[in-house]
Structure 1
Amino acid sequence: MLRGDLATMPLTDVLQWAEAARRNVRIEIERESGLGAWMITHEREVIASSMPHVRGVLASDGTPDAPGPGLRAAAIESLLDLFLETQGRFTLRDVSESGPASSEAAVKLAVPLGFLVMEGLRQLDEWPRLASTYPDDAARLRAIGTAPDDELGAVQAAILEQARRPFGSGTPTLAEMQLVLGLSRTALLRRVDELRAIGCVEVEGALPGARDLAATLIDQAAVLVREEQFAEAAHVLRSLLASSPADTRVRRLLEQTERAHLAACYAQLAKTDVVRIARPPSSAISSADQALLDALAQKPRSVAALTLLSPLRELETLLALIRLRKKGIVEVSPA
């Protein structure tokens, strides 16, 4: 069991440690407000979390054992809110020590830890801008456009649907929307901001220029990570970093994307697997692939030994290995 303060070990660090160590754990968060939350990780995924504290349209979609898109989305939003907690405490237990108690409602999820950390970091960086862009919770929200259903998440779709309905004397306020949907203020504003950016809603009194180009590109990178297109996401983030080398936000997101990519590679290759050359290449290959073959020239090696001997970075070595295996140039077998 591990305990600590979020002020000294933020949730980001806790989750990255669990991901890197491949630990199956239950992470409990104690807020200063007294409202607790927890999540359970297994094989680098969050597989269950506590029910959202606020009830509403989204949390009523399905049951914890069979959650609909709304309840799943509300539970994930609750997890993202935890990244803004800086003064609470955390407790980390192996799941063998403590899974969900029989009386606890656990929302079943399947959220990669890498994606959760990347999205949490992005929302943490975005929050000061959101708070200043939408300072008045009495501001009214109005639907002004549409978007294809497959481009909207469950929360965005629910916001847009409610914004089209008559509400009291007019369109709903931001505060009313929170109550109807059962979202925190932070969760509502981050999704309203996305809808405003694509021209689906307008908010009274919101400051102009809601999003800059970098924020839009980071959003695109987050979508690519969620779809496990890690190389494409890294390309977007490296391009941003090249134009703004001092941007620590982009640098952190790039590091997390590469960790997620590394985890995806190790899902295909065990460190103890043995790699040997099956046949010489029949055509020209890249310098990275040739460097890997040179490291195998004398004898077969384990994946772990290969990553140490290769002149390439660990991720580049694994990607080269996967490429060569697909071409039939190397074969990989269990130890």
Structure 2
Amino acid sequence: MALHGDFSSFPLPELLQWLDSSRKTGTLQLLTWEGGERKLFLLSGQVLAISNEGLWGRVARVLSLAKLADGAAVLAAFSSIPPGTEDVEPFFRKHNVELKVVRDLVREEMLGSMADQTRGGHGAFHWTEDLDRTGEEWAPCEMSLRELLFESLRWVDEQTDVDRVLPGDALTVRSRVQPSPRQPLMHRILLTMCAGGQNLGRLRLSLGLSRSSTTRRVFELLRAKQVEVEGAPEVVVDPVTDMLEKGAVLIREGQYDAAELVCASLLTSDPTDRRVREFARMVQSEHVASLYGKMPPLSVPVLRPDPEQQTLLKQEERQVAGLVNGSWDVSTLVLASPARELETLKTLAKLMRMGLLQFR
């Protein structure tokens, strides 16, 4: 199935929501940026890779400027990957390039471009279920569509504060701390490049990123007091923004229960905030996807009788356990359960941890 349209009639956030909820596999082509083109390769609602003209060169140049990899080695690693290859790590390892920094940088470019496109609202798209990357200058990028949607919308909503603090390209950014492997990749890159002071406009051109992407990360460093910007006002930390950022980190680390606690607190304080609502959707979507990864929808669970262990279950958990009959698969159990999808899956996962549940 192919689908064509423009963002005036089908806004990008709605398109990403549709692709996410349908767990689509295929290629999303975005025709924007004064004739520019980007492609997102999706596998069951996950961004598997992206491509656009000059991508390899930009990744190699930025990693080289930040002294994180040899530029020629990065290009050689990209060029050595055969078409259709899924496990690309051996090719980067062979050229002494850390795959994680490549993925993180590609993720950064994609986030910035999606945020810019959402703000601009112009352009067209083409969707096809063909996942062929032959002949494309593509790079790996493991990220869910739900996370992409949440992060890009959060960037859009918070861009006003960024523009207020960093209104022009003539501002000079200077590092106050040394880069550390514990910091996010873009923070490390910016701290390295601004060690002796760097004009914001030159910094943006060197990175090859949009102005909003560059200023966003400089703003974060300024808020953390890790850089100084001549003439910039003091940044007041927004507690909601701070909690959303920490919650997003928890999700990337797979700490879904902790992220749900952050989500519940935010929803109680301000349920009307679009960033909070999107975060709540992302927490649930990512947790469900993680549980299905451990318990595939078509796998059939079998309950192991253990009266002593079963007495430790709550009433609603015993209801879910009572549905396990050795014939129904996980997807059928989810449909038959009176509890929500996430709660049912969490109960099945608990039963499995307790040794009460096994899979054929």
TM-score between both structures, scaled by the size of structure 2: 0.81
Shifted more, 36-45 versus 64-73: the winner is: 64-73
In structure 2, which of residues 322, 326, 335 is the aligned counterpart of residue 294 of structure 1? 322
Distance 1:219 1:23 in 2: 27
Post-superposition Cα deviations, 1:183-219, rounded to whole Å, max 9, x if no partner, equal 2111111111221222210112323234311111100
In structure 1, which of residues 255, 264, 269 is the aligned counterpart of residue 281 of structure 2? 255
Distance 1:240 1:232 in 2: 13
Where in structure 2 are the equivalents of 1:160-179 lying within 5 Å? Answer: 160-165=191-196, 171-179=197-205
- Partner of 2:38: helix, strand, or coil? strand
1:270–1:108 Cα change, 3 Å: closer
In structure 1, which of residues 73, 76, 100 is the aligned counterpart of residue 133 of structure 2? 100
Percent identity, please. 27
Post-superposition Cα deviations, 1:156-195, rounded to whole Å, max 9, x if no partner, equal 1111011113xxxxx2111011122222111111111221
Post-superposition Cα deviations, 1:267-287, rounded to whole Å, max 9, x if no partner, equal 222333333421134242233
1:134–1:189 Cα change, 3 Å: same
Shift of 1:258: 0.6
Post-superposition Cα deviations, 1:25-53, rounded to whole Å, max 9, x if no partner, equal 11111115221111111243322212475
- Partner of 2:206: helix, strand, or coil? helix
RMSD, matched Cα: 2.4
Does 1:270 find its partner at 2:296? yes
1:87–1:292 Cα change, 3 Å: same
Matched with 1:241 is 267
- Partner of 1:267: helix, strand, or coil? helix
Matched with 2:187 is 156
Matched with 2:68 is none
Structure 2, unaligned runs of 5 or more? 65-70, 82-91
Shifted more, 315-324 versus 153-162: the winner is: 153-162
Q: What one-letter code is carried by the residue in structure 1 that aligns with 2:18?
A: W
Distance 1:266 1:231 in 2: 16
Distance 1:8 1:31 in 2: 15
- Kept after mapping to 1: 8 A contact 2:222/2:235: no
Distance 2:236 2:37 in 1: 32
- Kept after mapping to 2: 8 A contact 1:51/1:107: no
Post-superposition Cα deviations, 1:218-277, rounded to whole Å, max 9, x if no partner, equal 001111111222222122122111111222220111112211111111122233333342
Post-superposition Cα deviations, 1:46-73, rounded to whole Å, max 9, x if no partner, equal 2221247584841654233547555433
Where in structure 2 are the equivalents of 1:40-189 lying within 5 Å? Answer: 40-51=41-52, 55=58, 57-58=61-62, 61=71, 62-63=74-75, 64=78, 65=81, 66=92, 71-80=102-111, 81-85=113-117, 86-96=121-131, 99-102=132-135, 104-146=136-178, 148-150=180-182, 152-165=183-196, 171-189=197-215
Distance 1:234 1:223 in 2: 12
- Partner of 1:246: helix, strand, or coil? coil
Distance 1:73 1:268 in 2: 25
- Partner of 1:282: helix, strand, or coil? helix
In terms of fraction of residues, the more helix-rich structure is 2
1:134–1:52 Cα change, 3 Å: farther
Distance 2:280 2:339 in 1: 18
In structure 2, which of residues 331, 336, 343 is the aligned counterpart of residue 309 of structure 1? 336
Distance 1:216 1:15 in 2: 25
Distance 1:270 1:256 in 2: 20
Structure 1, unaligned runs of 5 or more? 166-170
Distance 1:299 1:268 in 2: 18
Matched with 2:37 is 36
- Partner of 1:27: helix, strand, or coil? strand
Q: What one-letter code is carried by the residue in structure 1 that aligns with 2:22?
A: A
Shifted more, 315-324 versus 177-186: the winner is: 177-186
Matched with 1:322 is 349
Matched with 1:168 is none
Shifted more, 7-16 versus 226-235: the winner is: 7-16
In structure 2, which of residues 248, 251, 274 is the aligned counterpart of residue 222 of structure 1? 248
TM-score between both structures, scaled by the size of structure 1: 0.87
1:38–1:126 Cα change, 3 Å: same
